[in-house]
Structure 1
């Protein structure tokens, strides 16, 4: 039976997953600190959920290799699914840019993902740090999708007009739900789109009314919003593999 392991940081998402794991008969452990106790290093099936900043060090101690999107995944995604120009660059190379662009680290939140001109980019980071640079688009709404074996397992609205949709309970319309399922279904069925076994895909509607992919995220560090925690657990179970097997 799997053992779900959390970092010391408490959150609504970890509490929801804890309850779901208990319903399914999993063991659950919350780490007391950032060092993994010896008795957790030899678990037969550890499943990790936590912040991206701490994932690499904790997973190494657990003997897990966590699944992460390739840095250029969004760049290589067929244009029909992203609907905007996106390129992989470096922080230093973008400092000379005078045109506004949406700039973000590929796989973490080391600095805020937002629209910058070159002179506004943050200091204090390696100039060779990779960044994704994309056209500026306006998202009407954005959805989080947990995917396993190229099947949509659970999803939730998380943003509307750039604002977190918490006040509405992350509610979406039946028309939006149908549009999302159609778009994600086409993307997942396309053999040109390479995906790990377990992942999160964010998608939404841009101005103009078309659906597009926002990004791919690692499932083990993704927020749930109103996603079904029982379904999320099954995705998390396959979001990491044993380092020795």
Structure 2
């Protein structure tokens, strides 16, 4: 947040905290979905986000695993190890659960969740997409542990960046119309359990206005955030279907 704020000030923008009195719009937003939904009407911004079921509707050639939509009640009934996560918010940590009894018991039974078979990602990368192209990117995890790294300083990571671009171009060519014009897509090196090597797969999609930039260029990240959570009158026709209600 601080990096984006510095970049915004450098562009002549005024950066204010949501709790400050007297805020007026039109405004842009970077922050959580609860406060964003509460302030969107008063400050005149529109929040663009992928649909809850976007990942479940992707062809398996892009996910590399089976992912399905369910409710918390269905997740409680799981009897085998499953990766469980909220589709958008952070109401509970996304994690592998040995069975449904390991999930928090105070969740809303009808709340949506995503259920995925358990797989191993060797490394995971965050992509800020603008109009179907990668505007900014960063590695953020290695074998599930936080390990941010820029993609333009290390020769090995530059080679990885070329693979990511190729995979993302194929993804956007086929399903780009199912995403808002400004969005975050996380991708990773999915290990093959039966032979050496990996394949690229989508981890998930997220709202750009509620996503950590890690080691990505803050200036390019801000370009995506401003499109994803800016004045409602600036929303493009194709993005109206992705506005948070």
Task: Report the TM-score, using the length of structure 2 for normalisation.
Answer: 0.85
Is it true that 1:139 corresponds to 2:121 in the alignment?
yes
Instruction: Give secondary structure in 1 for the equivalent of 2:227.
Output: coil
> 1:111-150: CA deviations, max 9, x gaps?
0101111111111111001100011111100000001111
Q: Which of 91, 96, 107 is equivalent to 1:115?
A: 96
Partner of 2:243 in structure 1?
none
| 1:85-124 equivalences in 2 (<5 Å) | 85-116=66-97, 117-124=99-106
Structure 1, unaligned runs of 5 or more? 1-13
Q: Which of 170, 173, 197 is equivalent to 1:186?
A: 170
Question: Which of structures 1 and 2 has the larger relative contact order (alpha carbons within 8 angstroms, sep 6+)?
Answer: 2
Partner of 1:221 in structure 2?
210
| 1:1-245 equivalences in 2 (<5 Å) | 14-31=1-18, 33=19, 37-38=21-22, 40-43=23-26, 46-116=27-97, 117-166=99-148, 173-191=157-175, 194-208=178-192, 209-243=198-232
Alpha-carbon distance between aligned partners in 1 of 2:92 and 2:38, rounded to the nearest angstrom: 20
Task: Report the TM-score, using the length of structure 1 for normalisation.
Answer: 0.85
Alpha-carbon distance between aligned partners in 2 of 1:189 and 1:24, rounded to the nearest angstrom: 33
In the TM superposition, what is the alpha-carbon distance from 1:54 to its structure 2 partner? Answer: 2.5
Structure 2, unaligned runs of 5 or more? 193-197, 235-245
Contact in 1 for aligned 2:67/2:117 (Cα 8 Å):
yes
The size of the alignment, in residue pairs, is 225
Cα RMSD, aligned residues only: 2.0
> 1:80-135: CA deviations, max 9, x gaps?
11111011000112222211110111001100101111111111111001100011
Alpha-carbon distance between aligned partners in 2 of 1:19 and 1:41, rounded to the nearest angstrom: 21
Query: Structure 1 or 2: larger helix share?
Result: 2
Alpha-carbon distance between aligned partners in 1 of 2:232 and 2:188, rounded to the nearest angstrom: 35
Instruction: Give secondary structure in 2 for the equivalent of 1:69.
Output: coil
